Amino acid sequence: MSKIKMPKSSPNLDMTPMVDLAFLLVTFFMLTAQFRPEEAVAVDTPSSMSQSPIPMTNMMTIVVDTTGKVFWDFTDKGVRIAVLEELGKRVNYTPTQEEKIKFVNAGPIGVPIQDLKALLALETGSERKEFMARHEGIPVDSTDNQLRDWIMTTRNIFWQDAGQNPIVALKADGNTNYSRVAEVIRTFQSPGIMISKFKMITDLEASRM
Amino acid sequence: MAQVPEGGGDGGGKGKKRAKKGNTHIDMTPMVDLAFLLLTFFILTTTMYKPSSLQMTYPVPPDPNDPAPPPTQLSNAITLLLTKNDQIFYYMGEFRAEATEKGPPTTLERTDFSKVQKLLVENNKQTIAQLNDLARQYNEKKIDEDQYNEKRKAIKGDKNNLKAIIKTDEEAKYRNMIDMVDEMDISGIGSYGVLDKLKPEEQALLDAEKAKL
């Protein structure tokens, strides 16, 4: 009786299908992943049962954070630059190329128009975030309603470009007082703007995930 | 783990030298390591970020030059006053500061977000029954989607259904308002409005109720 000899070398596994699959998955995840832009403003949106998705382009978002500061955001780069140039004209500020790039990538912007220059002079995102935290956001009060200017400029520029109005979304923190949000909505409805249809950005309720 | 034998070509030394038969085994271990590292990284760092949106339509502010629209029939309305600490006060029908021939003066009832759904559903049973019936017909494929949407709209827009007026005071949160609008959808209330101004009489009543909390 001879012993059964175990083969010396390790078994030769054909790994090709596994590697194929692994790379397929890697490629899929790499191509479909979208990095979430670093949020300049922390906004904890309330949840709702609504399931309609939000568009990724042609959308102007007005953000209201938990302290009631108002921010402006737009999805498309070209429009952002044009808005910056247009608003800069009001305070005799001509942004440089570098500042335009910063503005495009900055996400929501929440400073009075006269402070735009100071904001864009800052180098890093965290500095800008800190700068915006110190300021009061876009003024919405009736004496100096700059949100109106932001919205009207954006709409004019977008209209010239696309011949239609941008989609308007309101993204407010769940813990903001509604009276503050209502002020923004009143600005939406003020003469010359008249936005009565807009989207309120919410999280999908956990039970529906 | 994956040893790939090297040089399996010509073992014997005799005869003329042949060109090595293409042994194309490559050690794939590092590549596989890398692939799985990346795969793991992407799977672990990906969070499903899924915001959704609620389409809102606010009424266009009336032109001051236009004649005032006829007053809305409020006898089948519920007015919900949202206030601090997620509290809700409500009253049915029209607001009466004093007793009239239609009934005694309005008093506020108290509820909160855990109970308000039951309240609304109970007051809107008929509509919900109709909507459920319609949904059943649709599920059984007796009607197509267009018909379903149309009929659903008609049922929800019926003037005699429960209406809701959502009013918020200074201390209500935005979240409360969104939750309330959500409840409207759940309980099949088609016509509702959101206001952020209370009548002075309502405010007085609400203040009195809040003081009792």
Give the minimum alpha-carbon distance from B103 to chain A in angstroms, rounded to a whole number: 32
Which of B31, B39, B52, B85 to mutate: most A Cβ within 10 Å? B52
Residue B6's pLDDT band, with cuts at 50, 70 and 90, is very low
Give the minimum alpha-carbon distance from A201 to chain B in angstroms, rounded to a whole number: 4
Using the predicted structure, report yes or no on whether residue A207 has a pLDDT greater than 60.
Answer: no
CA distance A88 to A47: 37
pLDDT for B12 equals 45
Neighbours of A179 (CB within 10 A): 17
What is the per-residue pLDDT across A115-173, written as a single tens digit (0 to 9) for each?
A: 878 777 787 777 878 788 788 888 888 777 888 888 888 888 888 887 888 888 888 88
Nearest to A29 among B46, B58, B177 (CB): B46
What is the per-residue pLDDT across A161-190, written as a single tens digit (0 to 9) for each?
A: 878 888 888 888 888 888 888 888 888 877
What is the per-residue pLDDT across B157-167, written as a single tens digit (0 to 9) for each?
A: 777 777 888 88
Residues of chain A positioned with their CB less than 8 A from the CB of B170:
177, 179
Residue A205's pLDDT band, with cuts at 50, 70 and 90, is low
Beta carbons of B55 and A46 less than 8 Å apart: no
Nearest to A169 among B31, B53, B185 (CB): B53
Q: In terms of C-beta distances under 8 Å and separation of at least 24 residues, what long-range contacts does A86-89 make, across chains too?
A: A86/A153, A86/A156, A86/A157, A87/A113, A87/A116, A87/A149, A87/A150, A87/A153, A88/A116, A88/A117
% of chain B residues with pLDDT over 70: 77
ipTM score here?
0.71
Residues comprising chain B, all counted: 213
Using the predicted structure, report yes or no on whether residue B4 has a pLDDT greater than 70.
Answer: no
pTM to 2 decimals? 0.70
Using the predicted structure, report yes or no on whether residue B8 has a pLDDT greater than 50.
Answer: no
Residues 104-123 in A contacting B (C-alpha not used; CB under 8 Å)? none
Contact B51, A202 (CB under 8 A): yes
CA distance B81 to B177: 10
Q: Which amino acid is at A18?
A: M
Residue A76 tokens, joined:
């498309």
Detail the DSSP E strand segments found in B24-154. Answer: 51-57, 77-83, 87-92, 109-112
Residue B187, chain A, CB below 8 Å: the answer is no
Residues of chain B positioned with their CB less than 8 A from the CB of A194:
60
Residue A79's pLDDT band, with cuts at 50, 70 and 90, is confident
Using the predicted structure, report yes or no on whether residue A9 has a pLDDT greater than 70.
Answer: no
pLDDT for B48 equals 66
Identify the closest residue of chain B to A34 by CA–CA distance: B46
What is the per-residue pLDDT across A53-78, written as a single tens digit (0 to 9) for each?
A: 777 778 888 888 888 888 888 888 88
Give the minimum alpha-carbon distance from B14 to chain A in angstroms, rounded to a whole number: 26
CA distance A35 to A54: 17
CA distance B77 to B165: 7
Give the minimum alpha-carbon distance from B197 to chain A in angstroms, rounded to a whole number: 9
Residue A71, chain B, CB below 8 Å: the answer is no
Angle, vertex CA B202, rays to CA B200 and CA B207, nearest 5: 95
Residues 171-200 in A contacting B (C-alpha not used; CB under 8 Å)? 172-182, 185, 188-189, 194, 196-200
Residue A18, chain B, CB below 8 Å: the answer is yes
In 3D, which of A114, A119, A166, A173 has the Cα closest to residue A144? A114
Residue B24, chain A, CB below 8 Å: the answer is no
What is the per-residue pLDDT across B116-168, written as a single tens digit (0 to 9) for each?
A: 788 888 877 778 888 888 888 888 877 778 887 888 777 777 777 778 888 88
Task: Please name the helix (run of DSSP H) or strand (run of DSSP E) that holds residue A116, with its range, or none.
Answer: helix A116-121
% of chain B residues with pLDDT over 90: 0
pLDDT for A39 equals 66
Residues of chain B positioned with their CB less than 8 A from the CB of A174:
173-175, 178
Residue B34, chain A, CB below 8 Å: the answer is no
Residues of chain B positioned with their CB less than 8 A from the CB of A209:
48, 50
Residue A21, chain B, CB below 8 Å: the answer is no
Using the predicted structure, report yes or no on whether residue B88 has a pLDDT greater than 80.
Answer: yes
pLDDT for B10 equals 44
Beta carbons of A54 and B52 less than 8 Å apart: yes
Residues of chain A positioned with their CB less than 8 A from the CB of B175:
46, 174-175
